Structure 1
Amino acid sequence: MYDFLGAPGSLARGTVTVDVTNALRQGIVTLELEPGVMLDKNAICAQLGVSRFPVSEAIARLAEEGLVDIAPQRGSTVSLIRIADVREYMLIRKGIESEALRVLIGKHDASVISALHANMAAQRDAAQRDDEEAFHQIDVEFHDIIFTSMRLNKVKSVIDKTRANLDRARRLIITPRRLNDTIAEHQAIFDGILAKNERQAITAIRAHIDAVMIELFAFATEHPLMFADGAEFTANKDDFPFG
């Protein structure tokens, strides 16, 4: 069950707790550890060849990030995704990325344009290879390139703190069709940037975020038990500020 964590004794001395935290976070975000699954501390310790302390500390840190639920005397489980949280995070992203595009188009930085060109090519290559994990990372990089143009580290920090739960949610709806749709949506954003057309680019980024949320909402409607608030959110489907 925990083979994805690596081989026993593979962690570096002095950074064991950080490495265990990162490994477990990666497993949760990539859905190797599915929402709701119980975490077996003894099995994790055995897999990594470490004591219980770094594993307990790692789980505590992940609980602070909202990725793990700790129940006294009952153990720890991977937290269920909350649609309400994802909705708020995506609304924040919609606003921030719209402003980032205003900054980028105002500067039209040649190095950023070059990076976006390369990223779009990499997206198409990953989609052709049907490499979902590579595509996901390239997708994240596309948005990071836009954020970087703002040179506002605190803003990026806010986004990074929400990323783990957003990534979990987005992975649930990855399909070959979604990959192709994402490429088309990213190209529309890039076309607006290249045309130095602020309205075109911002309309495209908002449409992209809306499209992702509409698909995620449809998935949650069909699979409410995979979400902490699936039943509640489905019952209030009219309260949906996307699309």
Structure 2
Amino acid sequence: MNNHTSRYSFLTRPAGLARGNVTAEVTNAIRHAIVTLALPPGSAIDKSLICAELGVSRFPVSEALARLQIEGLVDIAPQRGSTVSLVRIADVREYMLIRKALESEALRVLIGAHDADLIAALHANMAAQREAAERDDAEAFHQIDIDFHDIIFRSMRFTKIKGIIDSARANLDRARRLIITPRRLALTIAEHQAIFDGILAQDQGQAIGAIRAHIDAVMVELFAFAREHPALFADGATLGSDSDSFPFG
């Protein structure tokens, strides 16, 4: 592999590509690279180098980029090529507001009707969060963080609600990864523990207040980051310094 091709060495070459699923596998590989910020916002995408790295023709790569354009992860400009889309803070604001409402309702439904299996799953998840933070493994922590919230949603058995959350996840995950620091990991653990404490106490008000405070805290940090690094965001230059950018509380 030459030095130019190695620019994309972080891409995971699908094992045993089968006829009919090549485009899906290539899409997954590029999406993962974008969501994990291996391909950062605003970076140019070289289709030829991706083809060489993944060992595929141009067609599945072009199709994959078209699919990712629909998901809002890629911008395709005629005659100018493809780039990784910038994160839109306005979209993240809406996604987080949706999560705030849905997760508050999930806790209202859950508390008082949960079983020992859910408590055991949350106990194990909290332990895994602390272990990942101690290793400073941000990627593992991110996945465990996602599962913490999924455990709560799975308890509701409302597949449509989980589908709404999952559909917003790719761009939301990009934004959240931008602010992952050891300090944010420690704060997230404390915020998750406060939610869990409310569940254990069977106190709806405590748990709902904790989850709303958690989402508010993440948004405060994300707005601050966007103001400091506006070039990573499609609408970063439009952010003011006001505190009314998100319905806090």
Report the TM-score range of the alignment, normalised by the length of the smaller protein.
over 0.9
Cross-structure match for 2:169: 163
CA distance in 2, matches of 1:215, 1:165: 16
How far does residue 69 in structure 1 lie from its aligned partner after superposition? 0.7
CA distance in 1, matches of 2:137, 2:98: 29
- Answer yes or no: is 1:144 the counterpart of 2:158: no
CA distance in 1, matches of 2:118, 2:11: 35
- Answer yes or no: is 1:10 the counterpart of 2:15: yes
Cross-structure match for 2:199: 193
Cross-structure match for 2:236: 230
CA contact (8 A) 2:132 2:138 kept: yes
Determine which of 207, 210, 220 is the counterpart of 1:204. Answer: 210
CA contact (8 A) 2:114 2:155 kept: no
Query: What is the identity, as a one-letter code, of the residue corresponding to 1:39?
Result: I
Structure 1 window deviating more from structure 2 (58-67 vs 10-19): it is 10-19
Query: What is the identity, as a one-letter code, of the residue corresponding to 2:115?
Result: D
CA contact (8 A) 1:30 1:171 kept: yes
Q: Secondary structure of the residue that 1:76 maps to in structure 2?
A: strand
CA contact (8 A) 2:107 2:208 kept: yes
Cross-structure match for 1:174: 180
Unaligned 5+ segments in structure 2 are: 1-6
Matched-pair identity in %: 73
Q: Deviations over 1:99-145 (max 9, x none)?
A: 11112113122111110000000000000011000000000000000
Give the aligned length. 242
Cross-structure match for 2:50: 44
CA distance in 2, matches of 1:20, 1:239: 37
Structure-2-length-normalised TM-score? 0.94
CA distance in 2, matches of 1:138, 1:24: 22
Determine which of 134, 140, 150 is the counterpart of 2:140. Answer: 134
Structure-1-length-normalised TM-score? 0.96
CA distance in 1, matches of 2:229, 2:248: 20
- Answer yes or no: is 1:76 the counterpart of 2:110: no
